[in-house]
Amino acid sequence: MEPCLEIRCLSAVLPNERRVLRSVSLAVQPGEVRALVGESGAGKTMIGKAVLGVLPKSVRIVEGEMLIEGEDLGRLDAKARRTLIGARTALIPQDPLTALNPSRRIGPQMTDRLVRILGWSGEKADKRIRQLLDEVQIREPERVLKCYPHELSGGMRQRVLIAAAFAAEPRLIVADEPTTALDVTVQKQILRLIAQLQRDHGTAILFVTHDLGVVAKISQKVSVLYAGKVVEEAQTADLFASPQHPYTRALIAATPRYTDPYASLKPVDETVLAGLADEIAAADRAWRPSHG
Amino acid sequence: MDEARISRRGLSPRLWLAGGWLLLALLAAIFAPLIATQDPLAQDLMLERLPPFWLDGAEPGYWLGTDSLGRDLLSRLIFGGRIAFIVAFAAASAACLIGSALGLIAGYFGGWADRIISRVVDVWMAFPPVLFAILLVAVLGTGLSSVIIAIAVIDWTRFCRVIRAEAMSQARMDYVESARIAGYGRTGIMLREVLPNVLPSVVALLSLEMGIAVIVEAILSFVNLSISTDDPTWGGIIAEGRLSIHQAWWVLVFPLATLILTVLSFSQFGEGLKTRFDPVLR
Ligand SMILES: Nc1ncnc2c1ncn2[C@@H]1O[C@H](COP(=O)(O)OP(=O)(O)OP(=O)(O)O)[C@@H](O)[C@H]1O
Ligand SMILES: [Mg+2]
């Protein structure tokens, strides 16, 4: 089966030629959730932005390919790329406050995209949005549609954004730490909601998180990222059963368990980090940027 | 929460006091020929330096007294308001349009556009504004349109700087990125997503700028560089009042008070509007 998203050997550099992505390869099959896990600064967001075509200006892709449903983004001109990304992908962002336009009401903000970009009729878009609001269990859609973003709670805003992401039936959703900015109690509900809609709509998700507990709950496959390099990838169940890479083992060991939440909060071992540093250095030495 | 909302939305005293005064002054200016009790230009040496109505020796119909040529002060203030408001609206709108457009482009697009526009603004702001205005009017020649052009040419930078900074911070917001991902074009995002969010600042600045335009016009009139005709202007009246301050203080005090009140009202009105229309502050 053709992957919904395929990233092949993607490297990106900062203006000082430091690599932020180191020959990243990963694939997300249709209807599957792939978790992308790693500590802060590992480059998880960078990968998501690269796929969605919104990398910061300072970050330059120097090698690799990205394919959405078999279409190579690199071969398309800017306009065709935008259209493809707009039609087949969506983002569930980390911060539900800044991801909504503060000066527009929720309703027009949500329907606008369907009408203007996808050419739906206003009526059809409106119906669709209401259906999605129902799916994300918003009980007073009338009121919510008339609200400005700041009039809603964080959890409500994230529900709205989830509804908006699924509304246009994208094939792939990038979810960048969609629960990090929320209260712990709300986090679980939102996570369950995303899983529910993912199953109902059969959407593939690249799920960015730094929380292995979330990985275990939501994903079928997982890639472990360290310093912009995929150090291990596996079926989620296998990763927890038999982690191969020392870093993965250390991460799993560092994840607090419900039975004993305090005892296991240990930092990643020094020797593991030293080994990682060697690995990264070796990879950089072996790397010949194709641009010369 | 509802109470706080009502007091902000409905009864903000700042908004209503400032707006009230501006409306009064504006209506008086528009209907000047109907309201003014006297011809603002009519001189009458028999009536020179009449005091305002509550002092001994006042004449009915000359409510705020007369100047040293016997012209009615209130009528002159009302007619002077016409020029003040025309300059305020025209000059501030022009400055606002140029400055906000450039600021929006610089802030949203960044890169080359930003570098060029910001450089120009820096150079522009190196000139002392009042001197710049006097110089410009001297070059353009006196007259209403020269004054308006001069103010717009000098003060667009105020809009440009503020709106650039705001557009820049909005452009970094995730909702702009989401719009990009959805497939909106850049210009569309700038106008539909970013512009509404900087609009409250534009409105506040516009109102403030109207006040500034009134002052600049007054300064130019004061140094006799504004309107070449005999039309009364607030700055002109102040200049005349200064000469007779010891004999007729009212000729200086009333136009000054009018000027200050108007300028203050413009800035307060702008701030009030901003608070009211800003979706987050509201
Ligand atoms: N706009 C930018 N310009 C240059 N470098 C950046 C920029 N944003 C992030 N970086 C760098 O890129 C690297 C990867 O950042 P990224 O945001 O992808 O990390 P992350 O894995 O998403 O971390 P977090 O869990 O904190 O979100 C970091 O080293 C960061 O310093
Ligand atoms: Mg991130």
* Nearest residue to A174 via CA among A12, A10, A54, A40: A54
Helix (H, G, I), strand (E, B), or coil: what is residue A144? helix
Of A57, A85, A100, Cβ closest to residue B175: A100
- Determine the Cα–Cα distance for residues A204 and A1; give it in Å rounded to an integer: 13
* Whether the model pTM is above 0.80: yes
Is residue A154 a contact partner of residue A186, using CB atoms and an 8 Å limit? yes
Per-residue pLDDT tens listing for chain A (292 residues): 789 999 999 999 999 988 999 999 999 999 999 999 999 999 999 999 999 999 999 999 999 999 999 999 999 999 999 999 999 999 999 998 899 999 999 999 999 989 988 899 999 999 999 999 999 999 999 999 999 999 999 999 999 999 999 999 999 999 999 998 888 889 999 999 999 999 999 999 999 999 999 999 999 999 999 999 999 999 999 999 999 999 999 888 877 665 555 554 566 778 888 888 888 888 888 876 655 4
Structural domains of chain A in order of their starting residue, each with its CATH number: 5-290 (3.40.50.300)
Q: Which of residues 185-204 of B touch A (CB under 8 A)?
A: 193, 196-197, 199
Residue B246, domain member (yes or no): yes
Higher pLDDT, A139 or B277: A139
Tally of domains within chain B: 1
Residue B204, domain member (yes or no): yes
Q: What's phi and psi for A19, nearest 5 deg?
A: -80, 130
Residue B120's domain comprises: 65-277
| Amino acid occupying residue B39 | D
Q: What is the average pLDDT across B64-92? A: 92
In terms of DSSP bridges, do strands A19-28 and A60-68 run parallel, antiparallel, or are they unpaired?
unpaired
Q: Which atom of ligand 1 sits closest to the CA of residue A210?
A: 25
| Residue A44 CA, ligand 1 centroid: distance in Å | 8
User: Could you please report the per-residue DSSP string of B25-66?
Assistant: HHHHHHTHHHH-SS-TT---GGGTTPPPTTSTT--TT-TT-B
- Determine the Cα–Cα distance for residues A170 and A175; give it in Å rounded to an integer: 13
Which ligand is closest in space to the CA of residue A42? 1
Q: Please write the tens of the pLDDT for every residue from B11-70.
A: 588 889 999 999 999 999 999 999 888 888 888 888 888 888 888 887 888 889 888 888
Q: Would you state the pLDDT for residue A169?
A: 93
Q: Please write the tens of the pLDDT for every residue from B134-193.
A: 888 888 888 889 989 999 999 999 999 999 999 999 999 999 999 999 999 999 999 999
Token look-up 């901003």 returns B274
Residue B236, domain member (yes or no): yes
With left for phi above 0 and alpha for psi between -120 and 50, is residue A284 left, alpha or beta? alpha
Does B181 lie at the interface with A, CB-CB under 8 angstroms?
Answer: yes
Higher pLDDT, B6 or B131: B131
Q: Is A40 in the pocket of ligand 1 (CB under 6 A)?
A: yes
Residue B3, domain member (yes or no): no
Q: Do A101 and B196 touch (CB under 8 A)?
A: yes
Residue B56, domain member (yes or no): no
- Determine the Cα–Cα distance for residues A174 and A194; give it in Å rounded to an integer: 12
Of B110, B184, B199, Cβ closest to residue A117: B184
* Nearest residue to B251 via CA among B72, B85, B83: B72
Q: Which residue does chain B place closest to A96, by CA atoms?
A: B174
Q: Would you state the pLDDT for residue A278?
A: 87
Q: Is A210 in the pocket of ligand 1 (CB under 6 A)?
A: yes
Contact residues, chain B, for A93 at CB < 8 Å: 174, 177-178
Residue B189, domain member (yes or no): yes
Residue B99, domain member (yes or no): yes
Q: Which residue does chain A place closest to B198, by CA atoms?
A: A103
Residue B83, domain member (yes or no): yes
* Nearest residue to A175 via CA among A114, A249, A89, A79: A89
User: Could you say which DSSP state residue B282 is in?
Assistant: -
Q: Would you state the pLDDT for residue A117?
A: 86
Q: What CATH number did the domain enclosing B104 receive?
A: 1.10.3720.10
Q: Do A93 and B178 touch (CB under 8 A)?
A: yes
Query: What is the crossing angle of helices A154-167 and A184-201, to 10°?
Result: 10
| Residue A145 CA, ligand 2 centroid: distance in Å | 29
Q: Would you state the pLDDT for residue B110?
A: 94
Q: Do A98 and B279 touch (CB under 8 A)?
A: no
Contact residues, chain A, for B183 at CB < 8 Å: 82-83, 85-87, 117
Does A85 lie at the interface with B, CB-CB under 8 angstroms?
Answer: yes
Chain centroid, CA A74 distance in Å: 20
